[in-house]
Structure 1
Amino acid sequence: MQKRTLRTTLCVALATLPMLASAQLTANVALTSNYKFRGQDQDTGRTRAFKPAIQGGFDYAFGESGWYVGNWNSSVNWLSGNSIESDLYGGYKFTAGGVNWDVGALTYIYPGAKGANTTELYGAGSFGPLTLKYSHTISKDYFGWAGESSGSGYKGRNTGYLNLAFAQEVAPSLTLKAAVGYTRFNGGIKDYTALTSSKIPNYVDYALGVSYDFGSGVALYGGVQGANKKDYFGFVNKTRGIVTLSKTL
């Protein structure tokens, strides 16, 4: 019995060696002049355009299986008692019908400000230079907008975000990037925000820029990002010129 168990264990271990050998761990680090998320400044402590943020994370791909997990972090300044955003995600990539698909889940964590923690399911399809992605909130709140953690009685679940992105190399090492996104807040968030000011509007964000690949994992991005509905959201939706230097290891 012991010999059979040992033989089975050895066979399983040997069978997983090819997958382990092809598994890939990568890391990334970046310095940006302004971190915008869905068109909005993530530093609300300053109104000026230059609000540098340090960012970085890790990605682990399980060989050729299509499965992956990762972590990404950034300095932020829009929550009391918190100065970092830490994202945890995992998903599955595959090809079907000539389209590259990516489905998974992502949790945004804000240590010290749990009311802003948000979890989304996402699905994306890429065809040529175009990628269409939809993210759907499944947590009770959406970045604190509904005030659920403070007992508001309102929830942010079922808020959605749709993004269409374009990326195409237009010259050696130079890639043109453009994107447009749409945030649709659920009824709970709209009703809750209407209690204190006016009902929050759905909004559109946009980005346009170029990225230059220096080789060895070093890239420089320059472009503009912003969003509409500035009359409601104020300076955080203002169009900003953004420069980001990144390194992939």
Structure 2
Amino acid sequence: MTISAASPLMIVALAAVNPAVAAPPLDLSADLSVVSNYLWRGTSQTDDGPAVQGGLELGHDSGFYIGTWASNVDFESGANYELDIYMGFDFTLPDEAASLGVNTIYYAYPDDDGSIDFWEIGLSGGYDFFSAGIQYTVWGDKDNEDALFDQGDLYYYAGLDFELPYELGLGIQLGYYDFTNDRVEVDELGNTRSANYWHWGVSISREAGEFGTFSFNYEQNDGRSEIWDNDPKFWIGWNKSF
């Protein structure tokens, strides 16, 4: 998501000058992460290398929020970093264990030698330890009209989150990517394969107070090896919210 990298910095500056800006009903938060591999929907965005990530979010007690998030990446196309901008609304429901929200997110790769940005809208919900959602690609800025991550792509996901003894957390995830241009040429003879794939993962996390949250994670996809790296991925992560 990229509107302007200066926008969140202006928010921070205003908050420093006038603390009331960040006081209720507004809340400004930030997070910082270090991961040994940046996995997104079951595929590595860093060629199995580490990443440093962070973001800023401004929320309103009505349920509206807007934010930005960035990470280094390593793409064959030449992109070295991702800059996202997002917003959404979480509805207030009679049952506090239930959740329902809408969102939109713009994925930008400003230093790419070809344009690969794309934009999604989504719907999510859940109850207690279960959550699920769907993301729809509204627009993709691809030179090739038959490329992946283009208008019409659908991504479905579901997850389970449990609290374990000793302040441990267990997360289980499942997702499916349904590309509108799902046939991808894989060799010089013009043979094609479907790019659609399932992915799944398990995460064990541990909160450490002021030291943040540490996690150990496993993820894998069942995509065709000619298109996706479907080897199992094990990675560790650290996250701190402010």
Q: Which runs of 5+ in 1 are unaligned?
A: 1-16, 142-147
TM-score, length-scaled by structure 1: 0.79
Structure 2 CA distance, aligned partners of 1:126 and 1:74?
Answer: 28
CA RMSD in angstroms, aligned pairs only: 2.3
In the other structure, the counterpart of 2:140 is 140
After superposition, residues 15-34 of structure 1 pair within 5 angstroms as 21-34=24-37
More helix by share: 1
Q: Please state how far the C-alpha of 1:199 moved relative to its aligned partner.
A: 3.0
Contact in 2 for aligned 1:205/1:227 (Cα 8 Å): yes
Give the aligned residue type for 1:115: S
Contact in 2 for aligned 1:183/1:204 (Cα 8 Å): yes
Structure 2 CA distance, aligned partners of 1:95 and 1:196?
Answer: 51
Q: Please state how far the C-alpha of 1:102 moved relative to its aligned partner.
A: 1.4
Structure 1 CA distance, aligned partners of 2:44 and 2:231?
Answer: 8
In the other structure, the counterpart of 1:118 is 118
Structure 2 CA distance, aligned partners of 1:219 and 1:238?
Answer: 26
**Mean CA deviation greater in 129-138 or 97-106:** 97-106
In the other structure, the counterpart of 2:164 is 170
Q: Please state how far the C-alpha of 1:33 moved relative to its aligned partner.
A: 0.6
Q: Please state how far the C-alpha of 1:218 moved relative to its aligned partner.
A: 0.3
Which of residues 67, 76, 80 in structure 2 aligns to 1:70?
Answer: 67
In the other structure, the counterpart of 1:35 is 38
- The change in CA–CA distance for 1:65 and 1:217 in structure 2 (over 3 A counts) is farther
Q: Please state how far the C-alpha of 1:182 moved relative to its aligned partner.
A: 0.3
Alignment partner of 1:127 is 2:136: no
Which of residues 182, 192, 198 in structure 2 aligns to 1:190?
Answer: 182
In the other structure, the counterpart of 1:91 is 88
Which of residues 51, 58, 61 in structure 1 aligns to 2:59?
Answer: 61
**Mean CA deviation greater in 20-29 or 218-227:** 20-29
**Mean CA deviation greater in 115-124 or 96-105:** 96-105
Alignment partner of 1:246 is 2:235: no
Structure of larger gyration radius: 1
Contact in 2 for aligned 1:160/1:183 (Cα 8 Å): yes
Contact in 2 for aligned 1:193/1:200 (Cα 8 Å): no
Q: Which runs of 5+ in 2 are unaligned?
A: 1-19
Contact in 2 for aligned 1:120/1:138 (Cα 8 Å): yes
In the other structure, the counterpart of 2:4 is none
- The change in CA–CA distance for 1:172 and 1:112 in structure 2 (over 3 A counts) is same
Q: Please state how far the C-alpha of 1:197 moved relative to its aligned partner.
A: 4.4
Contact in 2 for aligned 1:41/1:237 (Cα 8 Å): no
- The change in CA–CA distance for 1:18 and 1:118 in structure 2 (over 3 A counts) is closer
Give the aligned residue type for 2:134: Y
In the other structure, the counterpart of 1:7 is none
Give the aligned residue type for 1:109: A
Q: How many residues align?
A: 216
- The change in CA–CA distance for 1:54 and 1:119 in structure 2 (over 3 A counts) is same
Structure 1 CA distance, aligned partners of 2:223 and 2:145?
Answer: 26
Structure 1 CA distance, aligned partners of 2:174 and 2:193?
Answer: 23
